[in-house]
Amino acid sequence: MEFNGFKGAIPFLEAIRKNNTKEFFEANRDIYERVILNPSKAFVLEMGEHLMALEPHVTPEPKINKSLFKMYRDIRRMGANKEPMKSKVGIIIPQDGWDGCRLQKSSFYMHFSPDELFVSVGVRWFNKPMLDAYREYIRDERRRVELDNLLKRLNSMGYLTIEKGYKRYPKGFSEDMLGVDLSLQKGMATYKILPADTIEDAELLINTLYKIYEDMLPLQRIVYEISQRAKED
């Protein structure tokens, strides 16, 4: 299966925004499969092969609820968006298997919508085991300063760090510690936002993402180490 870009995906997602019903989606499922589902599967396979040059233990799996996300939104959750269909397409390629929650794995991630292409590595929010392992990791001053310097370097290259999730330093951290603001993070990920139409050109998309993921790889490896510490606990 050859990846030829996501041609026609943006108009389809725009149509979903205007007709956000399951009935509209099902009536146009053939278009969804042609412009989103099948290209997504091909993308996962091709991007996965490229990523293996950076990290041999990535695990691309071109299936729904693996590397691919379903288009139906879970509207049963409290506070969830009540529109039944998503108007963005997410793809995740984690490191080291599929056991446990895929969103708690250090991963190479991207999503696109009519508005943007969002590219990221890391974990956007930590569950308690991951948060505990993260805080234990940065309790060591050397590791904390190294992470702080890495994020500053990535920021200087045009990448952004997810916003802090907490306002008060957790137990064991104080304002006189170097890089202490890292303890306010609710997750650890860096990202970049690109024009949505980047997805239409297969070669441009693969090459652009590879360069971004290569730049972000040091953070990917740190978050992976933290995930392994969470497993051990």
Interval 22-60: pLDDT, tens: 999 999 999 999 999 999 999 999 999 999 999 999 999
132 within 8 A of 230, measured Cβ to Cβ? yes
Structure tokens belonging to residue 171: 């137990």
Choosing among 3.30.930.20, 3.30.910.20, 3.40.50.280, 3.40.50.720, the CATH entry for 9-232 is 3.30.930.20
pTM of this prediction? 0.93
Per-residue model confidence as pLDDT tens digits over 192-221: 999 999 999 999 999 999 999 999 999 999
> What residues form DSSP beta bridges with 111?
90, 118
Per-residue model confidence as pLDDT tens digits over 85-127: 999 999 999 988 788 788 888 899 999 999 999 999 999 999 9
CA distance 210 to 18: 33
> What residues form DSSP beta bridges with 189?
122
- List the chain domain ranges: 9-232
